[in-house]
Amino acid sequence: MSSDNGTNSAANFMHGIDDLIDDFTFLDDWEDRYRYVIELGRELPEMAEADKNAQTKVHGCASQVWLVTTASGAPENPVLTFVGDSDALIVKGLIAILLRLYSGKSAREITGIDAMQALGEIQLQDNLSRQRSNGLASMVERIQADARAALS
């Protein structure tokens, strides 16, 4: 088994962020980009109502946000899969973007991803309200915390 020096992680993440940048670049203005984010949210798989509880709630978001993390594979570096939902369509779209960047990657890969920096490339945070931007940061921190916990 080869050691992961972060090269695969960086390549996988950059592929994901490159796809996202391409999607956003294709759209002419932020009104179209917001519609795209909302459409991504509409395409999210439904989350079971039973999973929308105090343990899965993401704190620090203005909207209701829930995130369920499932680990599989090697206990020393499990692959994490995320399912999320929100009561706000734009936030569901932000969840969809984060799941595209993080879900299905190993915990070690996830801890090496700086999504906020990468999302800065598409100026996502610059075009969100302060509350939405803070909520996005809270979702990223929750994903990172779950990855750190999976490694301990």
Closest by CA position to 67, among listed 77, 76, 58, 79:
58
- Interatomic CA distance for residues 72 and 123, integer angstroms: 33
Amino acid (one-letter) located at 68: V
- Interatomic CA distance for residues 96 and 98, integer angstroms: 5
17, 20, 58, 61: the catalytic one is: 61
> Is 61 known to be catalytic?
yes
* Rg value, the chain, Cα: 15
Catalytically active residues, by annotation? 61
